Chain A
């Protein structure tokens, strides 16, 4: 986990690519999910209208965010839910810790919440002596492996079943060499059942918070959020400020899009509404900003807050598929992560907007129509202007711009050959031409088109 923060995407991706059969397997696994998404989407003739509608609803939310948040808070309080506000990750983590400490709770079960990954809650609570067990199967696997999730919907998609068998053998006592998914799932089920029954506190994420009703909705396939929340005396739900939707009827749009985009299922197995605590229990909501209002203020990037965390952009992204989630060294990987992360730390994540070919597939699978690839392009401009681009690259680009702005210099440069490759390999040391590593250089022709044309009869300039 710690090494992931010291290297940038190109280096981590190159490491991932040392095992080509594994890259093929990773790529094919995610492409299969993308293909399932396509089949599900094509079953709905109104798919593109649904995307547009969802995008518009979220646009309304972002334009009136404070109003909807206050409406949600008022209605949640009426329902008997206790609402907390956290400006940043540290405050969020402290609120959660205080709630546990006040009740003398030292063990908590937690279902999927990328926000808590973003806030590094598990590490923080561990330091405070609180034991957290992730109850989503994929998250439990990476937790046992002491790794972060590599995908927001499929946290252990980078692990093969044999490797999961080894982890379960070591930590949960399954038979050595056992890799049958059914048997391994049953092992996890027995282990987690004991956890659910004994934990007094459960933390969950929030997929949608309905301003109109003060309720929130959690989507899982495993029912693990429900198991945790229903059996605990305190349910803490952590949500980013952008999770608001105005009315309950809007769920009809988002729930249809979410899982079709994520996994190709029509809907998650459980789409659970939480509106008021059971007798003798408490529900707390922690509403977290952590940089979101800054992103909201960046006009070119605010649409990134429409994200409903389906992961479709990751599954379709050829760079993600062939570099793996950990190469993004941030909680939310892939194209969406690459436009969210620079907002949190532009220097640390300056590499991510460049980890893309700008192919545009992400923007076109996105169920809320975030212009992801255009934002990647725009982040590149911002990162360079803010001075987070390597100096050598800036020098090369200036030389290139000068040459290309002058027909004379261009012709001279072209004639001495291979203009592009003269300036392009700036990122690595000059002894090594990265193009040539796995590719032949183009054969340089005797004359350029311009030279050929000048000799042509009847040339029209």
Chain B
């Protein structure tokens, strides 16, 4: 199985450990992982700001980098969703369509494609799971609290396989953290307040770590935790699933 690793730009630049963990985890699980080296960004920062018309460069580059693989896997629900919903490329529409079908967020790939039922990971800590909105309501990697429907959670299902890990309950299981791309600076007051409230929910339930399938949320929450000099840390779900004692 030839899997292309899609590493979002900010993960590449600021959180390489999460990308390394994703790569190692996929290899452990038997995938032949390729990293197309000319990849940059999915184009979401422009598109969500109203500049989708400026993303054709990113789209073309994405199609050139990611065509021809069996699957494309990304340790970010948000970037995966953007590709799924907005990747169009003039003259390469067939390839773009293929990519939109083949791109997976990591936890949904592990559950739905690799059908992972056991892991050798160990992480003896109390962990709060932050559901990123794009993973949750966009990709539906878990059931959202708004709908009257059967609950499920692919990230939680995987975390349950990790030795020693205790998932803490939350008062608001899927309230947004307030990152929101450029929202985090344009609407700084509300964004920071939303982040502070999410952090407080995890801390009040005894979380030692906050994890998520999206590092953009975690980057925002980490900024708040560090400003508060908190001992609580953020960690991408891939780093937990790849973590051995």
List residues of A whose CB falls within 8 A of some B CB. Answer: 9-10, 13-14, 16-17, 20, 23-24, 27, 31, 38, 41-42, 44-45, 47-48, 316, 318-319, 322-323, 353-361, 363-365, 377, 380-381, 383-385, 389, 393-394, 397-398, 400-402, 404-407, 410, 414, 417-420, 424-428, 433-435, 437-445, 447-450, 452-454, 459-461
Q: B227 touching A13 by the CB < 8 A rule?
A: no
Given B60, B137, B195, which contacts A439 in the complex, CB threshold below 8 Å?
A: B195
Q: B50 touching A460 by the CB < 8 A rule?
A: no
Known: A361-B146, A407-B61, A440-B227. A384 touches B37 (CB 8 A): no
- Is B185 located at the chain interface by the 8 A CB criterion? yes
Complex formed: what's the CA distance from A410 to B195 in Å? 29
Q: B16 touching A448 by the CB < 8 A rule?
A: yes
Q: B137 touching A361 by the CB < 8 A rule?
A: yes
Known: A435-B188, A441-B223. A420 touches B9 (CB 8 A): yes
Which of the four size classes fits the interface of chain B?
35 or more
Given A10, A20, A389, which contacts B50 in the complex, CB threshold below 8 Å?
A: A389
Given A41, A405, A448, A461, which contacts B60 in the complex, CB threshold below 8 Å?
A: A405
Report chain A residues within 8 Å CB of B195.
439
B1-17 near A? 1/0 per residue, CB < 8 Å = 00000010111111111
Known: A359-B133, A414-B12. A449 touches B193 (CB 8 A): no
Complex formed: what's the CA distance from A204 to B193 in Å? 38
Known: A380-B49, A404-B40. A444 touches B13 (CB 8 A): yes
Report chain B residues within 8 Å CB of A393.
49
Q: B194 touching A447 by the CB < 8 A rule?
A: no
Given A13, A361, A404, A453, which contacts B43 in the complex, CB threshold below 8 Å?
A: A404
**In angstroms, how far is the closest chain B Cβ from the Cβ of A450?**
6
Q: Could you give 27 example pairs across A and B, Cβ below 8 Å?
A: A10-B189, A13-B189, A20-B193, A48-B148, A319-B187, A322-B190, A322-B197, A355-B187, A361-B137, A361-B144, A361-B146, A364-B146, A364-B147, A383-B50, A389-B50, A401-B43, A417-B13, A419-B9, A424-B182, A427-B185, A434-B188, A435-B223, A442-B15, A444-B14, A449-B20, A459-B35, A460-B34
Given A9, A359, A397, A400, which contacts B137 in the complex, CB threshold below 8 Å?
A: A359
Q: A361 touching B176 by the CB < 8 A rule?
A: yes
Apart from A401-B54, A404-B43, A404-B57, 7 more pairs, CB < 8 Å: A13-B187, A14-B188, A318-B178, A360-B136, A414-B9, A418-B13, A427-B182
Q: B223 touching A357 by the CB < 8 A rule?
A: no
Known: A10-B189, A401-B54, A420-B10. A438 touches B45 (CB 8 A): no
Chain B, range 143-164, C-beta contacts under 8 Å to A:
144-149
Report chain B residues within 8 Å CB of A427.
182, 185-186
Complex formed: what's the CA distance from A48 to B146 in Å? 10
Known: A322-B193, A364-B147, A449-B16. A401 touches B222 (CB 8 A): no
Q: B189 touching A420 by the CB < 8 A rule?
A: no
- Is B55 located at the chain interface by the 8 A CB criterion? yes
**In angstroms, how far is the closest chain B Cβ from the Cβ of A256?**
13
**In angstroms, how far is the closest chain A Cβ from the Cβ of B230?**
11
Complex formed: what's the CA distance from A460 to B195 in Å? 38
**In angstroms, how far is the closest chain A Cβ from the Cβ of B209?**
17
Q: B137 touching A402 by the CB < 8 A rule?
A: no
The residue of chain A having its C-beta at the shortest distance from the C-beta of B55 within the complex is A401
**In angstroms, how far is the closest chain A Cβ from the Cβ of B232?**
14
Known: A385-B53, A460-B33. A401 touches B220 (CB 8 A): no
State the main secondary structure of chain A at its contact with B: helix
Given B46, B48, B191, which contacts A358 in the complex, CB threshold below 8 Å?
A: B48
Known: A316-B146, A401-B46, A460-B33. A323 touches B13 (CB 8 A): no
Complex formed: what's the CA distance from A424 to B149 in Å? 38
The residue of chain A having its C-beta at the shortest distance from the C-beta of B225 within the complex is A440
Complex formed: what's the CA distance from A19 to B181 in Å? 25
B172-207 near A? 1/0 per residue, CB < 8 Å = 101110111111111111111111110000000000
Report chain B residues within 8 Å CB of A24.
197
Report chain A residues within 8 Å CB of B178.
318, 357
Q: A38 touching B145 by the CB < 8 A rule?
A: yes
Q: B57 touching A405 by the CB < 8 A rule?
A: yes
Report chain B residues within 8 Å CB of A16.
189
Complex formed: what's the CA distance from A407 to B41 in Å? 9
Report chain B residues within 8 Å CB of A406.
40, 57
Given B19, B51, B53, B183, which contacts A354 in the complex, CB threshold below 8 Å?
A: B183
Q: B144 touching A364 by the CB < 8 A rule?
A: yes
- Is B226 located at the chain interface by the 8 A CB criterion? yes
Complex formed: what's the CA distance from A424 to B146 in Å? 31
**In angstroms, how far is the closest chain A Cβ from the Cβ of B202?**
16
Known: A45-B148, A322-B193. A356 touches B137 (CB 8 A): no
Report chain B residues within 8 Å CB of A447.
16
Complex formed: what's the CA distance from A436 to B17 in Å? 23
Given A14, A318, A355, A419, which contacts B194 in the complex, CB threshold below 8 Å?
A: A318
Complex formed: what's the CA distance from A450 to B9 in Å? 10
Known: A17-B189, A31-B172, A318-B194. A450 touches B12 (CB 8 A): yes
Complex formed: what's the CA distance from A319 to B193 in Å? 9
- Is B219 located at the chain interface by the 8 A CB criterion? yes
Q: A410 touching B40 by the CB < 8 A rule?
A: yes
Known: A425-B185, A438-B224, A440-B223. A48 touches B147 (CB 8 A): yes
The residue of chain A having its C-beta at the shortest distance from the C-beta of B57 within the complex is A405
Complex formed: what's the CA distance from A359 to B184 in Å? 13
Q: B12 touching A449 by the CB < 8 A rule?
A: yes
Known: A319-B190, A322-B193, A360-B137. A402 touches B57 (CB 8 A): yes
Given A361, A401, A442, which contacts B219 in the complex, CB threshold below 8 Å?
A: A442
- Is B68 located at the chain interface by the 8 A CB criterion? no
Q: A365 touching B186 by the CB < 8 A rule?
A: no
- Is B52 located at the chain interface by the 8 A CB criterion? yes
Report chain B residues within 8 Å CB of A428.
185, 188
The residue of chain B having its C-beta at the shortest distance from the C-beta of A452 within the complex is B16
Q: B137 touching A10 by the CB < 8 A rule?
A: no
Report chain A residues within 8 Å CB of B194.
318-319, 322, 357
Q: A381 touching B223 by the CB < 8 A rule?
A: no
Complex formed: what's the CA distance from A359 to B174 in Å? 10
B110-150 near A? 1/0 per residue, CB < 8 Å = 00000000000000000000000110111000001111110
Complex formed: what's the CA distance from A357 to B194 in Å? 10
Report chain A residues within 8 Å CB of B37.
407, 450, 453-454, 461
- Is B170 located at the chain interface by the 8 A CB criterion? no
